[in-house]
């Protein structure tokens, strides 16, 4: 019954059988069609997610050898022109409206017909309808869709520009320009996520840069395997770019917003391939590309806010708990006001310290002066009532001088002033009398 049937049809037939029935069919194939038996056995021996991945590779190889050309044909109300490109999912043509009511440059993507056996057309149209609801300046607009000769097609905005890779080669962008461009891509993806749409195939080839140097996201994966998708889990096709796909996408698991965030981290690494481990951009890359979903950014918004924080020299969310880092960001963000504030603070601290030192010095001098006054008073008190000779006065002065010199708390300039005062001669009583008598005469 299965003789002459394609390997793809046989494979799908076997999936509906139990193990015993499968074995009977495989025995028949081994006897009559050993080559197909070997191919089918390899497919059945892989995991369920690998079935579709292998089939996708088989169909993608067939796609590269399309023997049909729709150039210059009229499809519904659209006039096709030349071919823009082709890949594993289909072929894209340049087009315009055939009725002449609107002058509009369009791009029409025809889905590879081999996928008709893998995916439900209704589900494809529903996924395309979700894309048509997206309205964002950084997303290529989806206008229409339809079917022509068993070919499902999607009508999109034609973006005149270059891919991200080519744009980076042609233009030497600064760090700020790269971050700004990446932030715009984040805004586009953020808008899609708000409408429950994942890109699921984010890579440089699907980011076009137009003449205004603005990004345009194209080629959303209509076969994305997400829980909210209208495509059944067993119908999901593993179509992705190995370099930019998330671990869960490679393993055939359900995709989430964190899957696109992982791809964003890869693109950020493409823009900044070499960064210091303590650099903010490196921290953002590492956070976005975590193997575990729970350890990545929870949303594209969180990722974008950190990117914009780097642009504005503000602390990123991953390091804002570090005081020194926060201060460094402030100095970068507002260097002149920060310098003036720092200068004012240093001046204030220096003035306060100097004032405190002076007050302490005056207080010490006051204490020493009081002590010295007390000692002199004591000397005078003990000498009261006794005959005071010149020798005893000299002894008192010498004793006072020694105490002054030996006092460690007395500043040097005070010692000098006190010793100088002690050395100044005091007018004697005889001199004062003579001076008084002279004045009277």
Q: What is the DSSP string of 343-388?
A: HHHHHHHHHHHHHHHHHHHHHHHHHHHHHHHHHHHHHHHHTTTS--
Query: What are residue 2's DSSP bridge partners?
Result: none
Of 199, 222, 234, residue with least CA distance to 125: 222
Report the alpha-carbon distance of residue 428 to residue 419 in Å, rounded.
20
Q: Name 78's Cβ contacts closer than 8 Å, sequence gap at least 6.
A: 95, 96, 97, 98, 106, 108, 155
CB atoms near residue 245 (< 10 Å): 22
CB atoms near residue 122 (< 10 Å): 10
Report the alpha-carbon distance of residue 88 to residue 237 in Å, rounded.
12
Helix (H) or strand (E) holding 277: none
Q: Are 189 and 202 in contact (CB under 8 A)?
A: yes
Structure tokens of 239?
Answer: 């179509």
109 in a known ligand binding site: yes
- Could you tell me the end-to-end alpha-carbon distance of the chain, in angstroms, rounded to an integer? 162
- Dihedral-angle region of residue 97 (phi above 0 means left; psi in -120 to 50 means alpha; beta otherwise): beta
Annotated binding site: 109
Annotated binding site for ATP: 109
């Amino acid at each position: 019954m299965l003789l002459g049937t394609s390997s793809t049809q046989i494979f799908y037939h076997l999936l509906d059988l139990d193990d015993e029935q499968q074995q009977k069919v495989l025995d028949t194939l081994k006897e009559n069609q050993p080559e197909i038996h070997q191919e089918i056995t390899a497919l059945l021996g892989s995991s369920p997610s690998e079935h579709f991945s292998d089939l996708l590779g088989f169909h993608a190889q067939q796609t590269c050898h399309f023997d049909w050309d729709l150039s210059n044909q009229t499809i519904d109300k659209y006039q096709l022109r030349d071919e823009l490109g082709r890949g594993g999912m289909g072929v894209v043509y340049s087009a315009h409206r055939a009725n002449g009511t609107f002058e509009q440059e369009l791009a029409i993507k025809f889905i590879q017909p081999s996928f008709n056996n893998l995916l439900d057309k209704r589900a494809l149209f529903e996924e395309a309808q979700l894309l048509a609801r997206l309205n964002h300046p950084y997303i290529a607009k989806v206008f229409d869709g339809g079917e022509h000769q068993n070919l499902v097609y999607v009508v999109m905005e034609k973006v005149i520009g270059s891919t991200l890779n080519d744009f980076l080669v042609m233009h030497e962008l600064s760090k700020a320009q790269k971050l700004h461009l990446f932030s715009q891509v984040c805004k586009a993806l953020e808008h899609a996520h708000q409408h429950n749409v994942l890109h699921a195939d984010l890579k440089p080839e699907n980011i076009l840069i137009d003449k205004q140097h603005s990004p345009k996201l194209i080629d959303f994966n209509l076969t994305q395997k997400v829980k909210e998708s209208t495509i059944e889990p067993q119908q999901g096709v593993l179509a992705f770019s190995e370099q930019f796909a998330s671990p869960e996408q490679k393993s055939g698991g359900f995709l989430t917003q964190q899957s696109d965030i992982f791809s964003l981290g890869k693109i950020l690494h493409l823009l900044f391939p070499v960064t210091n481990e303590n650099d903010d951009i490196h921290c953002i890359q590492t956070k976005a590309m975590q193997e575990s979903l729970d350890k990545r950014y929870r949303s594209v918004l969180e990722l974008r806010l950190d990117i914009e924080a780097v642009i504005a020299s503000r602390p990123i969310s991953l390091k804002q708990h570090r005081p020194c880092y926060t201060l460094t960001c402030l100095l970068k963000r507002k260097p002149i006001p920060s310098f003036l504030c720092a200068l004012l603070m240093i001046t204030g601290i220096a003035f306060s310290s100097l004032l405190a030192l002076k007050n302490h010095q005056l207080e010490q001098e006051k204490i020493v002066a009081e002590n010295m006054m007390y000692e002199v008073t004591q000397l005078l008190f003990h000498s009261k009532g006794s005959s005071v000779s010149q020798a005893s006065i000299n002894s008192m002065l010498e004793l006072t001088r020694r105490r002054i010199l030996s006092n460690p708390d007395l500043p040097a300039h005070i010692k000098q002033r006190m010793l100088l005062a002690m050395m100044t001669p005091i007018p004697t009583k005889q001199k004062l009398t003579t001076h008084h008598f002279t004045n009277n005469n």
